[in-house]
Amino acid sequence: MKYIDWKETDPQINLAFEEYVFDQMNKNESYFLLWQNDNAVIVGKHQNTIEEINQEYVKENDIKVVRRLSGGGAVYHDLGNLNFTFIVNDNSKDQFDFQTFTRPLVDALKTLGVNAEFNSRNDIAIDGKKFSGNSQYAKRGRILHHGTILFNSKLATIQNALNVKNDKIESKGIKSIKSRVTNIVDYLDEGYTLENFKTALLAAMFENDHLEEITLTDEDILAIEQLKTEKYATWDWNYGKSPQYNLRKERKCDFGLITILLQVEKGEIKELHFYGDYFGNGDVQELEARFIGVNPTEEALSDVLKNIDLADYINGLDSKTLIDLILY
């Protein structure tokens, strides 16, 4: 496995770095990355950015907002948080297998005396408190899995920067974001800094594997900077246009929170957009386009969905659930 210890802390260039390694570097190799972002909210690919952040707080505190390639929910990053990324080939048909990639981290932490466990669809926790959220992106048999590790992050800022919906909090039976998350430093022996924690973590995770550190070329760096400029630093990518709508449907499902914005005129769907913290690798715009001009009736919607594998777009969603959500 190739290892890249990436020193940049600009969240826009860091997400460009991830995509570049995934798309442009040798696809016969596996990569492991460790990196950090300065103050930023990183939103999931399918989310409506405006609804996920506390815009006033983000602006006042100079927190960057950047959209990532993968689905899932919004997360806050600062220099007290360590991010890790696996990029590997995987031709299995299992979608969003989080435990394969989180297990090395969980096992490594146990050797450091931290009793961590995989706690839900994509979280790692200690005593029920989350310190790592994970997400994945897949394309052409290749997987990018990345996750956070809250080491000594500012937990109060997480609560203030993210506009977490009440039904997500209530569904967990907990009253605040702060009570749901924890820093890993509180469970380690005294004396750990983030840097020596990173060294210990690497040694424990890859004790039985060969990890070859590599350095990117000047040409690689220029290409990453160009990708940042053309994509990750743009308003269109990070925020996007908010569509007009006259109907809003939202439901918390086992696979995540899903919101549908609908513009219906004269008995036809004129616009339909999906948002949420769900996972899915297909281009959801392709799915949205299939509903344009369709009557919002059970029969018409069933006909549209007849030959579509919804799991390609929204993992875990079935036709009945989607029709119920649109109509009722």
Judge whether 304 and 294 are in contact, CB under 8 Å. Answer: yes
Q: Give the model's pLDDT for residue 164.
A: 60
Give the Cα separation of 54 and 59 in Å (integer).
9
Element (DSSP H or E) covering residue 326: helix 319-327
Our CA angle for 294, 300, 306, nearest 5°, is 110
Whether the per-residue pLDDT at 87 is higher than 50: the answer is: yes
Token pair listed for 150: 């809250």
Q: What are phi and psi of 23, to 5 degrees?
A: -90, -30
Judge whether 147 and 73 are in contact, CB under 8 Å. Answer: no
Q: What is the pTM of this model?
A: 0.85
Q: Find the length of the chain.
A: 328
Q: Please name every residue paired with 126 in a beta bridge, in sequence order, or none if there are none.
A: 116, 129
Give the Cα separation of 49 and 54 in Å (integer).
10
Give the Cα separation of 84 and 103 in Å (integer).
13
Relative to beta strand 268-276, strand 256-265 is: antiparallel
- Domains in the chain with CATH codes: 2-238 (3.30.930.10), 247-327 (3.30.390.50)
Per-residue pLDDT tens digits for 122-172:
899 999 999 999 999 999 889 999 999 999 999 989 889 998 655 543 444
Q: Give the model's pLDDT for residue 166.
A: 53
CB burial of residue 222 (10 Å; 0-12, 13-18, 19+):
exposed
Q: How far apart are the first and last CA of the chain?
A: 50
The one-letter amino acid at 206: F
pLDDT band for 94, please (50, 70, 90 cuts): low
Token pair listed for 84: 């890790």
Mean pLDDT, residues 225-243 taken together: 92
Give the Cα separation of 88 and 138 in Å (integer).
10
Mean pLDDT, residues 108-134 taken together: 91
Give the Cα separation of 209 and 59 in Å (integer).
44
